[in-house]
Amino acid sequence: MLTGTLRTPFLPSFLDAAPKASCTASKHVRQSPCQAKAMSSEAPKQISTPKAQKVNIALCQIAVSEDKDKNIQTAKAAIQEATQAGAKLVVLPEMWNCPYSNESFPKYAEDIDAGSSASVSAMSSAAKENAVTLVAGSIPESSNGKLYNTCCVFDDQGKLLVKHRKVHLFDIDIPGKITFKESETLTQGDDFTVVDTPACRVGIGICYDLRFPELAMVYAQRGVQLIVYPGAFNMTTGPAHWELLQKARAVDNQLFVATCSPARNQGAGYTAWGHSMIIDPFAAIVAQTQESAGTVHAEIDFAQVNERRQNMPLFKQKRFDLYALIDKTLS
C-alpha cells in the first residue's frame, strides 16, 4: 500500500520557476537539501504504474437527504446494485451522508479514528459483503476538536486502507452567484493520498482539490493510474469548469480521472451540478450521467496509461533545467 507518507526522492507538489540568477549560490551560503534538489537539472524519479488490467468501475450519483440513516441505506443499495452489474471499483459522492452546508458538517460529523463512525462501519460492511473496492466519497470527520472533509477507501474485504482529508478548502465568493467558505467549519488536510487497491493504484482528491494541478502531478509521479475526485461542483462552477478541469488533469498527467457528484436537488440550500463522469488519458469522456440520481458504469483498460505515455513521452520531455518539481511532504 502506498500512502501519503511514501518517501520517494524528487516528487512534485508545486512548480518553482525561479529566475536562473537565483540558482547561483554564494560559496559562503550553505544550501539546504531542498535547495540543492530544486537547483538540480536531474529529472525527478517517476514510479512505475502497477501491472495494467481491465476494471469495471461504477460511480454512484446518489440523492442526499437530511436523514443520515436514509443516506446510509441509499449508499448501501447503490453499492450492491453496482456490484451486481459487475463493478469491481465503486465510488460515492462528496458528503454523501449529509447536506452540503457549514451548518450540517458539525451536526453530521463522525469520529473515524475512535471507531464510532456509523457511516464508515456501514461502508466497510458493504465493501466486504459485495467483495468490491470502495472509494466511499466523503463525510464530515471529527478528530481532536477539528472537522475535516474526509474520504475513506476500503478494499474488497472491507479493510479501511486509507483516509484522505481534503487538502484545498472550498472558499469562493462570486458576486451575485455563490459564496461559500468551508474554512468557517473545516480544517484542511496536509498530505497526499496514494493507495494500491485490488483494482488499481488510486490517488484521491476531493472536489476543490481538482482545481490544483500540482496535486495531480504528484500522483502521476507516484505511479497512479486513476485519480478519483468525489465532488459537488455547483450550478455556477459546474457548467463552466467541471468537465474542463477533469480533462485537463487527465491529459496533462496521462492517466484516468473519475468524479462522483451527489444528484441534483433543486430544493437544497446548495445545489450540486451532478454529471459524474470518467475521463481517459487522452481527455475523452468514457462515460457520464446527467443531473439525476443514477450510476455510471464503464470498463477501464489501464493499459492506456502506459500506451499514451509511450506515444507522447511528456515526462521525459520536461525541462527540469528550467523549472523544478518539489514535494514538500518529503523529510
Contacts of 226 by beta carbon, 8 Å cutoff, 6+ apart? 200, 201, 202, 203, 255, 256, 257, 258, 300, 302
Which of 207, 243, 260, 291 does the annotation list as catalytic? 207
Q: Is 207 a known active-site residue?
A: yes
Beta bridge partners of 201: 196
In whole angstroms, what is the distance from residue 111 CA to residue 129 CA?
23
Q: Is 94 a known active-site residue?
A: yes
Q: For residue 277, give the nearest of 243, 303, 252 by alpha carbon.
A: 243
Which of 166, 200, 247, 291 does the annotation list as catalytic? 166
Q: Is 247 a known active-site residue?
A: no
Contacts of 281 by beta carbon, 8 Å cutoff, 6+ apart? 250, 251, 253, 254, 255, 256, 304, 305, 308, 309
Residue type, 199: A
In whole angstroms, what is the distance from residue 277 CA to residue 284 CA?
11
Beta bridge partners of 256: 226
Contacts of 320 by beta carbon, 8 Å cutoff, 6+ apart? 40, 41, 42, 43, 44
Which of 60, 94, 243, 260 does the annotation list as catalytic? 94
- Positions marked catalytic: 94, 166, 207
